[in-house]
Every structure is written in structure tokens, then in C-alpha cells.
């Protein structure tokens, strides 16, 4: 039986072709693209971890560099996914007209946008893995308990993927409203930067005033940071009683998981729905 000429490739190939195209473009300059993930967390951890760590001491009985390091994985994933699905998507859409050629192939607008989100998640995976290696080396140099002594760190890159998908979808939604590339500065300066400081990365959310604690629960980064820190520190062979295995079984983390799932599904639906109209127009 002959196949119809209008037969489309399987869904996974259509979505995967979008992902593969972005991977090929990104890997052409792999050193310049991949080196910053190693250097940025090292600079931040050494500069802030040593400077503040000497004054702050322990947090929840945990050395401050270790507390800070366990939160930096998701910030790297957040920023790279956000850059990819704001500036990167806008340039491909408005300046390079990349999507015009892609939509001429047997790839639908839905396939294209889902591929964008998955590529953002993949960069989140890669960047969180780079940060894991860099921070583990830094903690070793600083003579702080190494994260590699926790068997649960194998989950960190996968959380980086989920975090990348989450912020990739949300950033695509932001992109659907933007008409001028300079408007992304409001998103990064007015939303992502404050979230970096008020989502439990640099200091515990519990130290904030009640109103800001409630606001922090609205931020998506709060929930992934709390999850990753729990998995990082709960496996350190019982050195920190407040971060033992029971720390992973508590209602707060169930709320985090529910928030992440709902946020990813809702933002993905809204982003695909809005940008699909723009792509077709």
C-alpha cells in the first residue's frame, strides 16, 4: 500500500526536529555558550558564600555556602530558559524569520512551540548539570561538605529540566505580548531579578516579613528551589538532622509539586495558544 504524500511524520519526530535544529545551532559555539555556566556560579558562590558566610554562620544548622549552593541550580536553569524563550524566540520570530521556514515543513505551530519549550528544558538540564559540577568543586575547595556525598543529587539536572520547561513556557507567554525587544528588560529586571532574591536562594523565605512570605509562595522559583534543596541536603548521611529523609515527606513539598505541575500545564497552554495565532498571522 502506498502512503499518501500528505502523511505527516510521527509527532515525536516533528517536535524532535525543532529541538534538534536548536541543538545544532547552539552546539556550533559550545565553548562560549557552555563556559559561563561553570564560571558564574563559582564567582557568586565564592563572592557571596564566603563574604556573607563568615557573618551569617549556619542556616538551619547548614553551612551557608552549602545552603546557597543548593539554591543556585535552579537560578541558572531559570535564566537560561528565560533568555532562550524571550530574546531567542523573539529574534527567530521577528528578525531571522526562522519560523517561516520551519512552518513550511510538515511541522505545525503547536509542534514548533512545544519543541521550543522542551529545548528550554534541555538547556535547563545542561546548565544545572554544569552548575552542579562547578559548585561541588567550589565546596570542595572551601572545605564544605560536598554535595556529591548525597546520592539524591542525581535528580538535580532533571529538576533543572522541569524548571527550564516551567520558565520556558512562562517566558513564551511573555513573548506573546511583546512587540519591541527592549520590553524584555522589564521582565528580567522587574520579575526575574526580584524573584532571585525573594525565593529562598540567598536566604530562607521564613526570614521574610509575613506579607513577603506570602508573595514568595506565588513565585515559581520558590517551589523548585525548595524541592532541590530538600533533595540535595536530605541525603548527606544524617549530618543535618533538620534535613534528614523525613524532610522529603512533608505537606510543603506536596504543595510545591502541585504548584509546579499546574503552573507548567497552564503556562504552556496559554503560551502555545497565544503565540500560535501570532505565528499563523
- CA dist., res. 77 & res. 163, Å (int): 6
| Residue whose entry in the numeric block shows the C-alpha cell 523525613 | 246
Say which DSSP state 179 is in: S
- % residues pLDDT > 70 (the chain): 85
Residue 4: other Cβ atoms inside 10 A: 7
pLDDT for the residue 149: 60
Whose cell is 556525598? That residue is 149
**pLDDT tier, 3 (very low <50, low <70, confident <90, very high otherwise):** very low
How much is the pLDDT for 1?
A: 40
Give dist(CA 169, CA 163) in Å, integer.
Answer: 10
Q: Is residue 230's pLDDT more than 90? A: no
56 against 202, higher pLDDT: 202
List of E strands, 78-213: none
In b/e form, how buried is each residue of 61-99, taking b as 16+ CB within 10 angstroms? ebbbbbbbbbbbbbbbbbbbbbbbbbbbbbebbeeeebb
Is residue 232 within 8 Å of residue 156, measured between CB atoms?
yes
The structure's pTM equals 0.90
Mean per-residue pLDDT over the chain, rounded: 85
pLDDT at position 263 is 97
Amino acid at each position: 500500500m502506498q502512503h499518501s504524500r500528505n502523511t505527516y511524520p510521527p509527532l515525536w519526530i516533528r517536535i524532535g526536529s525543532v529541538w534538534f535544529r536548536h541543538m545544532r545551532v547552539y552546539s556550533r559555539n559550545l565553548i562560549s555558550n557552555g563556559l559561563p555556566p561553570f564560571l558564574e556560579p563559582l564567582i557568586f558562590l565564592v563572592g557571596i558564600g564566603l563574604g556573607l558566610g563568615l557573618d551569617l554562620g549556619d542556616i538551619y544548622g547548614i553551612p551557608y555556602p552549602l545552603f546557597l549552593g543548593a539554591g543556585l541550580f535552579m537560578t541558572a536553569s531559570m535564566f537560561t530558559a528565560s533568555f532562550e524563550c524571550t530574546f531567542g524566540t523573539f529574534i527567530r520570530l521577528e528578525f531571522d524569520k526562522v519560523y517561516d521556514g520551519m512552518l513550511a515543513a510538515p511541522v505545525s505551530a503547536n509542534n514548533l512551540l512545544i519543541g521550543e519549550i522542551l529545548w528550554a528544558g534541555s538547556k535547563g538540564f545542561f546548565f544545572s548539570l554544569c552548575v552542579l559540577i562547578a559548585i561541588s568543586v567550589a565546596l570542595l575547595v572551601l572545605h564544605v561538605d560536598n554535595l556529591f556525598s548525597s546520592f539524591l543529587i542525581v535528580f538535580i539536572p532533571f529538576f533543572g529540566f522541569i524548571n527550564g520547561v516551567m520558565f520556558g513556557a512562562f517566558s513564551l507567554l511573555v513573548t506573546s505580548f511583546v512587540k519591541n525587544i527592549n520590553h524584555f528588560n522589564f521582565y528580567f529586571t522587574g520579575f526575574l531579578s526580584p524573584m532571585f532574591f525573594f525565593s529562598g536562594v540567598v536566604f530562607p523565605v521564613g526570614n521574610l516579613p509575613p506579607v513577603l512570605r506570602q508573595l514568595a509562595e506565588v513565585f515559581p522559583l520558590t517551589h523548585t528551589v525548595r524541592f532541590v534543596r530538600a533533595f540535595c541536603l536530605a541525603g548527606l548521611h544524617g549530618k543535618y538532622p533538620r534535613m534528614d529523609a523525613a524532610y522529603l515527606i512533608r505537606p510543603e513539598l506536596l504543595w510545591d509539586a502541585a504548584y509546579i505541575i499546574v503552573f507548567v500545564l497552564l503556562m504552556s497552554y496559554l503560551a502555545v495558544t497565544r503565540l500560535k495565532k501570532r505565528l499563523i498571522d
